[in-house]
Structures are given as C-alpha cells and as structure tokens.
Amino acid sequence: MNSETDAAGLSPPPLGVYVHLPWCLSKCPYCDFNSHAIKGKLPAGRYVDALLIDLEADLPLIWGRTVHSVFIGGGTPSLFPARQIERLLDGLRARLDMAPGAEVTLEANPGAAEHDRFVAYRDAGVNRISLGIQSFDDDLLRAIGRIHGRADAVRAVESVIKAGFERFNLDLMFALPGQSVAGALDDVKAALDFGPPHVSHYQLTLEPNTLFHARPPVLPDEDTAWAMQEACSGLLSGAGLVQYEVSAWSKTEGECLHNLNYWRYGDFVGIGAGAHGKLTLPAKGAVHRRVRLRHPRDWMAAAKAGEAVAEDAVVPAADRVFEFFLNQLRLRAGVLKSQFTSRTGLPWSAVESPVAEAISKGLLEDHGDRLVATDLGWRFVNEIQALFLPV
C-alpha cells in the first residue's frame, strides 16, 4: 500500500465548493484559521473578482460534475455586502453545474453584520446561515476576545429567523475560561430557546500559533470539561436534536450537507486565500489536495494571473486510508464500507487488520454494511483513528 497511484477503484464522490473570505474585525485569541483583521477599506469587489478567476483554474478538473453544496466561510463572511455575495453566487452558477436546491451556507458573526442584511443574503441565494454565537454570557465572550455581547447574539438569531431562514446553525463553545457546568448548560438552554435545527457544540482547545497558546488562560480541568459535555449532550438530546457528528447536533434532515460531504471523504473545490481543496481524478488514478496561497494580498495578485495554487499534491495510498477513517469515524452513523474502495481506490482487505484490532478492543462493532463505534469507542474516537495511521 505504498504506491501513490494504487487507486484502480476510484470514482468521483459528491462535490462541494468552499469559498474563503478571510477578513475579521479583529482576530480572536483562540482562532487558528486563516483570518486577518481589516486594515482600511474591505476590498470586497476586487476579492470576488479574484475568486471567480481562481475558480476557473479548477474547472478543467471538474467538468461534468454536479455541485451539491457551497460553504462561504472565514474569517467573517458577513462583513461582505449582500450585493457582493450575490455576485459571487451568480458567478458560481454561471461556471458550475449546481444541483437544484443546492445547500448554500454563509457564516456570520453577531456584531459583524447589519441585522436587516440577512434578508438580502437570502435574496442573493444563501439558504443556510451559520452564526458564531460561542456563548450567551457577556463575561465569557469578553474572556475569549469576542466583539459581540449577549444582546447582539440574541438580535442576530432573531434576525435570521425573521429573514425566513428555515435552516441555520448556532455555534457554541464550552470549557471556556472560568466557565462552570451550570454556565455551559445556560448557553445551551439559551440557544435551544430559538428552536434551532442545528447546533455545533465544541470544546475550546489551545491551538498552536494562537495568542491563547502563547499565553494560556486558565481553562476548566478535563473532568469538568467532560461533565460539561455530558450534561449539555443530555440537554440537546432532550430537545430533539440528534448527535450525528462529534460536535454537531441536528433535527431530522437538519444536518449540514456540506460538512457531511467532508466527513464522508467527499470532494470539494477550495477557492480564496488559504483555501484547501480535495479532488478525485479517476482517469489519473489519484486523489489531489490543492492549497491556495495564504495571505489575501498575495492570493489576489496570484489569482488574477492564474497562479493562486500554492500546493498541488497527490495523496499517497496510506494517507487516503487514514483520511477516510479519520473523517468517517467522526460520524455517529459510522463508517460506510461500501464507500471505502470508491473513495480511496483500495480494496477492503487493506484495512482488515486494524478493523479487527478495533473490534477486539471493544471500540468498533461490525453492523454488516458499516462499522459503528461502541459507547467506549465514541468516547475515545481518537484511539480508533490512530489505528489507521500510516506506518
């Protein structure tokens, strides 16, 4: 399993488009994304122009394929005027075969969008909003460097609902500096008051190359963080939301389809500063990962010259195996055996040994068409993923 072209069984999986808009009003101290504080006037029009040119560089690799989802992330995409988002989406539709009713998500932050703008985003073609609430507690929001407060968060959610968005997500974090279990539960209760179809609920971690990593705040200990996770999970479940991914909860048919495609090891074009993409090319017997130049200024200049791709690498066979399991094991429904060969190009026999080891340790159960984590395995999913690391 050491040949980069050992991929005879590859076939194209569903395709999405990720669009990166990298600017924020300020950089959060925990954020390790490619985001940049605005200095001067936001170059929204020039950036959208560059995005559409950037997309054209990947078009020969995806001719004839249907796009099922678009995710506009950042940064803070809601800093962009709705007219520029409409230009972007019109440009995507003109260049791509978009599926009818394709999911189009826009990330937004309270305090970084005019609240009546959500109607304009909907009219522009956005049909799903992801709001970066993180907490409804003013003290905790200040502790993690957010620019909004509880009142801003409430107004933003109410505006999304009033604008007619039936599909929206509320992002929440837990294990924040000084947070108690009761405080974590209060945040979830405040979110559930709005009846959201989707909630992302994830633990604050100290990532390298962030201010919090250099100057760590005092966080709840591991046992307290686990107690928060367990208590909040019970509250989310009791409200009728189902945990379908490690940090994602939704009502029936409320899942984020774009993220589901990631976790199922699907394909995606990535455009914009620092954007990543993954494309399956059966004719070449290869899976490629493509990365754009990181700095917005450098990327815009390079995109206009058709040279925005900083890295284009073939994924080795052993890495495809690890990536497939790394992603699919995040899903509560488990690993779909039928997708392994078509998405990695390798026979199931290539993973029989680590699968057997995971089963023998009580971490996985074989349900015939899929492998499902046991309760123990779900708690220690990293231990299962490690069994598929390249050696």
What is the C-alpha separation between 314 and 279, in angstroms, rounded?
Answer: 10
Query: Does some domain include residue 278?
Result: no
Reported confidence tier of residue 2, pLDDT bands at 50, 70, 90: very low
Shared domain check, 110 and 225: yes
For residues 324 and 248, state if they share a domain.
no
Q: Is the pLDDT of residue 356 over 50?
A: yes
> How much is the pLDDT for 391?
81
What dihedral angle (degrees, nearest 10) is formed by the CA atoms of 90, 83, 54, 284? -40
Residue 271 lies inside a defined structural domain of this protein: no
Q: What is the pLDDT of residue 5?
A: 43
Domain count, the chain: 2
- 10 lies in a domain? no
Q: Do the domain assignments include residue 294?
A: no
Please state, for a pLDDT cut of 90, what percent of the chain lies above it.
94
219 found inside a domain:
yes
Task: State mean pLDDT over 247-253.
Answer: 96
Domain that holds residue 255: 15-261
Tens of pLDDT, residues 333-354: 999 999 999 999 999 999 999 9
DSSP annotation of 65 reads P
CATH for 378: 1.10.10
When computed from its CA atoms, the radius of gyration of the chain, rounded to whole angstroms, is 21
- Whether the per-residue pLDDT at 8 is higher than 60: the answer is yes
Is the torsion defined by CA of 262, 230, 384, 243 positive or negative? negative
* Same domain, yes or no: 171 and 243: yes
In this structure, is residue 137 part of a structural domain?
yes
Give the domain-ending residue among 261, 283, 300. 261
Residues 157 and 192: beta-carbon distance below 8 Å: no
| 195-204 confidence digits (pLDDT tens) | 999 999 999 9
Query: pLDDT averaged over the chain?
Result: 95
* 38 and 165 part of one domain: yes
Banded pLDDT at 7 (limits 50, 70, 90): low
Q: Mind spelling out the 3-state secondary structure of 356-384?
A: HHHHHCCCEEECCCEEEECHHHHHCHHHH
Same-domain pairing of 119 and 207: yes
269 found inside a domain: no
| Model pLDDT for residues 165-196, shown as the tens digit of each residue | 999 999 999 999 999 999 999 999 999 999 99
39-82 confidence digits (pLDDT tens): 989 999 999 999 999 999 999 999 999 999 999 999 999 999 99
Residue 67 belongs to domain with CATH number: 3.20.20.70
Kindly compute the dihedral angle of the four CA atoms of residues 315, 321, 327, 330, in this order, to the nearest 10 degrees. -160
Q: What are the start-end ranges of the H helices in 144-251?
A: 150-162, 181-192, 211-214, 222-238
Confidence at residue 132, expressed as pLDDT on a 0 to 100 scale: 96
Instruction: State whether 324 and 237 are in the same domain.
Output: no
Q: Does 114 score more than 80 pLDDT?
A: no
